[in-house]
Amino acid sequence: MQQSTTPTQVHIDKKAKQKERQTNEPIIQVRNLVNRFGTHTVHENLDMDVYPGEIVGVVGGSGSGKSVLLRSILGLRPPTEGDVTVFGQKIADLNADDRSKLERRFGVLFQQGALFSSLTVVENIAMPLIEHAGLNREEAEKLGRLKMALAGLPANAANKYPSELSGGMIKRAALARALALDPEILFLDEPTAGLDPIGASDFDQLILTLRDALGLTVYLVTHDLDTLYTICDRVAVLSQKRVIINDSLDVVEQFDDQWVQDYFQGPRGRAAFQAETRRQENL
């Protein structure tokens, strides 16, 4: 008779896998990062590591610089000071060609999807394959339909325009486009924002499945406590202009900081923890 897996056993297994990942070199390394807008300092001497194969959730209060940090890592906003190293390469040292090659190893899902409104779903997905992989339109759209299936989109969505899609389908179409070039790192900005609880849960499970199946590293900015408890290996908390902790949730939720305590030990945090505990008990 097969024994059921307890939440404690699942937690121990998750910690063991995370410890194994951290024996590798960081795939993303941020050191002494400073971001200023005029006299306003958003980040001051910020350090952060992301390891291959992990899902890291980035949280913080309004104005803590979550989006600015994401843009700095992507190379969309050069930092005022400090270094961002991805795949062992300092982004600031790369010429345009090398930057372009590096960026092809990224997949990005922006908060509102950022789909081109004048293009159909399959045309949106095909665009990076035409622009960066040199495929013709027929080849790109054929591959685009495979990416649609990977993101859980029905085949009949291919010729629809973004305005004809639900919020959940927009997220999945944007995810399919982010996966178009077979990235090694997936960056997600508030991936479940605006989705109903069932849609958000389904999207969380999709990300987890893709990470496990494709060996992706996932960096996600989120406020969704259910997402943090369900799929994240570690959580990085932005506060006081830096990452004050970047660790597994059981460590983070006990961290001695008022914002962290209010966020994770408040009613919604406790509810998310209890929901994940029940889910693990039913595995």
Domain ranges of the chain: 52-76+95-105+184-283, 116-182
Count of C-beta atoms within a 10 Å radius of residue 245: 17
pLDDT range class, residue 172, cuts 50, 70, 90: very high
In this prediction, residue 275 carries a pLDDT of 58
The answer, yes or no, to whether residue 6 has pLDDT greater than 60, is no
What's the Cα-to-Cα distance from 173 to each of 110, 215, 235, rounded to whole Å?
11, 20, 26
Count of C-beta atoms within a 10 Å radius of residue 263: 21
- The DSSP annotation for 146-197 comes to HHHHHTT--GGGTT--GGGS-HHHHHHHHHHHHTTT--SEEEEESTTTT--H
pLDDT cut 70: percent of the chain above it: 85
In this prediction, residue 146 carries a pLDDT of 93
Superfamily name with CATH number, domain 52-76+95-105+184-283 = P-loop containing nucleotide triphosphate hydrolases (3.40.50.300)
The answer, yes or no, to whether residue 16 has pLDDT greater than 70, is no
In this prediction, residue 2 carries a pLDDT of 47
Q: What is the pTM of this model?
A: 0.86
The answer, yes or no, to whether residue 153 has pLDDT greater than 70, is yes
Q: In terms of DSSP H, where are the helices of the chain?
A: 7-21, 66-74, 96-103, 121-133, 137-150, 167-178, 197-214, 225-231, 249-252, 258-265, 267-281
Q: What is the mean pLDDT of the chain?
A: 87
pLDDT digits (tens, 9 = 90+) for 262-272: 888 876 656 66
Count of C-beta atoms within a 10 Å radius of residue 218: 23
Please state whether beta strands 234-239 and 242-247 pair in parallel, antiparallel, or not at all (unpaired). antiparallel
Distance of alpha carbon 175 from alpha carbon 169, whole angstroms: 10
